[in-house]
Amino acid sequence: MNNRVHLNRLNGTAENGRGWPENVGILGLEIYFPSQYVDQTELEKFDGASEGKYTVGLGQTRMGFCSDREDVNSLCLTVLDRLVQKTGTSYKDIGRLEVGTETLLDKSKSVKSVLMQVFEESGNSNVEGVDSTNACYGGTAALFNCVNWVESSSWDGRYAVAVCADIAIYASGNARPTGGAGAVAVLVGPDAPLVFERGLRASHVQHVYDFYKPEMTSEYPTVDGKLSIQCYLHALDKCYQLYCQKHAALFPDDQPISLNSFDALLFHSPFCKLVQKSLARLALNDYVNVPKDKRESKYPELASLPHFDDLSQTYFDRDIEKAMMDYSKITFEKKTKPSLHLATNVGNMYTPSLYGGLISYLCEEQDPAGKRIALFSYGSGLVSSFYSMKITGGPALAKLLDGLSDVKPRLLGRAKVAPSDFDATMKLREETHHLAPYQPAATIDHLFPDTWYLVEVDSRHRRHYKKYTSSDSNSNGHSQ
């Protein structure tokens, strides 16, 4: 960043005359996922589940998982380090760093503070921000904080970075195949190719115990599965309706918001089948947003839709759900399914889930320039938001997309692990979680090069990390 640009930004002299920079949004993206996965078809057999329960019923194909060599700190170190290297960003030019995670290792010390070790060589310790925690929503909170900072009077002209990472694991049983692990880092600043639509953000927050982690010595959550799905759909209804109202107030002369308003619709993905149901849910919202006397003419395909008085009566109405999924199938295939490539192959990453969907969409869409996308973020407990962004073209977009060109090759380069070995790894994590002192038992030869990993936990619970380099991989026989 040259000094003139830096000073202009410090002075807040935006061209629009209102003191904020133009086109604030995402300048760069990076994703990290584990180098190992378990096949969901094989896991069905190992668990004694019915054929297709995980693959068809949940829509999952493979699930990434971490050995005891990785934790949330190492995931964040890896993805931040890779983002900086790929984008050519200097650590000196980062003025805010936010972390979103629900995988807590310490009740006091933030993950963000652990990440400051990679800033030391640059001499930059003037970096605002800490951690945001609320189930899967923490990554969105971190991202919003970064965007808000760049648009605020506190902005000093430097970049902001949001990092979100989690290791999603469950006790053995029906919920285990909805796990996963991963991390996403987002570079935020002005003149971005992915621009947040200012003023078009709607949130719904509510107190509920649908999914929570009250036991600090365990990585496993307490889950009410049926309630969690109901809360997710209810939050989606509320956020979408509020977004529609905000848009109508800001742009009274425009057409009302509907699925037709967006080129892509992305969702937090606990499992892929729920995402398909969510897209159908928005189609149902569009249906009820039309006056009753006009519905039949506007939606002749839905003339046989069962009667209901309000949306809250339809959460588990299978007839309505099926009708809406059939009606919205083409829209889902075109506007949402491209965002699920990572979700079905890695699993639920919790806080990075939605942004893994954004990366998937950008990797699958041949020409994203000019597209308008909607995003829905959900975190149990609950906090949720629906917002939108527009994609511009030019060199900035080309650079962002080039940085994602290795995502698919990395997916193909992972190692498949037998369900029995996966199960043994989960038992190891369960037995050793929060032990101190602790020496990790897993080898490092399965790691991707340039992955940060846990070396040891000393007797005072202090965690020590190292970066797995190309020389390490060669000496350990890792195939690159």
C-beta separation of 11 from 161 below 8 A: no
Sheet with 62-64, strands from edge to edge, namely: 62-64, 36-39, 415-416
pLDDT digits (tens, 9 = 90+) for 400-421: 999 999 999 999 999 999 999 9
pLDDT of residue 471: 66
Catalytic residues: 102, 136, 268
Per residue in 361-376, pLDDT (tens digit) is 999 999 999 999 999 9
Per-residue pLDDT band for 433 (boundaries 50, 70, 90) equals confident
pLDDT at residue 475 is higher than 80:
no
- Beta-strand relationship, 36-39 and 415-416: parallel
Mean pLDDT for the chain overall: 93
pLDDT at 208 over 90: yes
Is 186:159 a contact under the CB 8 Å cutoff? no
Share of the chain above pLDDT 90, in %: 89
**pLDDT, tens only, 115-140:** 999 999 999 999 999 999 999 999 99
Architecture, CATH, for domain 3-420? 3-Layer(aba) Sandwich (3.40)
pLDDT score for 19: 65
* Mean pLDDT of the 55-61 span: 96
pLDDT tens for 384-405 read 999 999 999 899 999 999 999 9
pLDDT-based confidence at 472, cuts 50/70/90?
low
Task: Tell me what pLDDT residue 309 has.
Answer: 86
Q: Span 94-102, mean pLDDT?
A: 98
Segment 51-71 shows an average pLDDT of: 96
